Structure 1
C-alpha cells in the first residue's frame, strides 16, 4: 500500500502539472482518492485475481476525481487522465527495461516491484515539480472548448483505449507496452497542443 500510494500520487502530480494546475491545492482530496484507488487495486488483484482490470478502474476513478473536485469537464477529465496515465506507464515501462530487462523480471520478485514503483513514482513527482516550476504544460480554458463531433470521436477512441489497456496489461509484453503507450501518448499530446493553439487563435 505504501509503494502504491507513492505511485498513484505521482500520477496525480503529473496530470496536474501537465495541465498547469497546482497539485498542492487539492492534495487532501487527492490523498483520499489515492486511498480508494489503492484499496480497489488490492481487492481486484488479491481477492478476485483481476489485476488486468485495475488500470481501467484507476483511470475511471481519476477521471471522476478531476470532474468532481478539480471541475474539469467530463470529456477533458478523461483526456487528461488518459494522457497522464499513459505518460506514467511509458516512463515505468522504460524503467522496468532499464533496471530489470523486462516487466516479467520486475514482477518476478516483490522487492523488484517495490523498487520499480518507488523509482518511477519518485522520478515522476520530481519531474512534475520541475514541469510546474519552469512553466511547461498546457494551460487553456476547458470550459471554452465546446463538445463537437471531434470530441465525440475522442470519447470513442478513449473507450477503445480503456479496453485495449486491459488487454495489453493482461498479456504483459514489454515491446507492445512501449509501442502502445508511446503511440497513445503522442496522439493525445498532439490533440492537446492543437486544442491549445485553437484557443489562442479564438
Structure 2
C-alpha cells in the first residue's frame, strides 16, 4: 500500500511538473510575430536610411547626364547656327560687293548724263540767244572777227621783223664760226710748230696741207644752219 501511495504520489508530482512546463502555441505564434515585426522594422529602417541615399545619388547622376546631353545638343545647335550665319554673311558680303560695283557704274553713268545735260543746256542757251538776240550774236561774231583780223595784222607786221632778226642772227653765227675757225687754226699751227721744234728728226709736213685744213674748217664753220 505504501508503495502504491509513493508511486502514485510520484506520478502525480511528475505529471504536475510536466503540466507546468507546457507552453501554449498562441504565445509562441505571437512571439514569432513580434520578432518578425522587429526584423521587418529593422530592414525597413535600413532601406529608409540607405535606400533614400541611393535614390538621391541615382537622381543626381541622371540629372547630370541629362544636363550633359542637353548641353551637347545646345552646343551642336549653336555651332550649326553659327556656321549657317557665317555662310549667310559671306553670301551677303558678295552681294554687297556686286551691288557696290553696280552703284559705282550707275554713278558714272549719272555723271556722264549730267555732263551731257550741261552741254545740251549750253547749246540750248546759245541757240536761244542766237534766235532771240541775233544782233547780239552778230556783234559777238564781229568782235571775234575783228580780234582775229587785228592778230593777223600784227602777225604780218611781226613776220618781216622776225625775218630780219633771223638773218642778223645767222650772220652773227657765221662770224662766230669764222672766229672759231681762226682760233682753231692758230692753235693748230702753234701746236704744229712746237711739235716740229721739239723733234727736228721727224719729217716736216707741207704748209699747203695745213692751209687746206684751215680753209676746210673755216668753210664748215661759215656754212649757215
What TM-score do you get using the length of structure 1 for normalisation? Answer: 0.19
Q: Which is greater in Rg?
A: 2
Which structure has more relative contact order (CA 8 Å, sep 6+)? It is 1
Higher helix share: 2
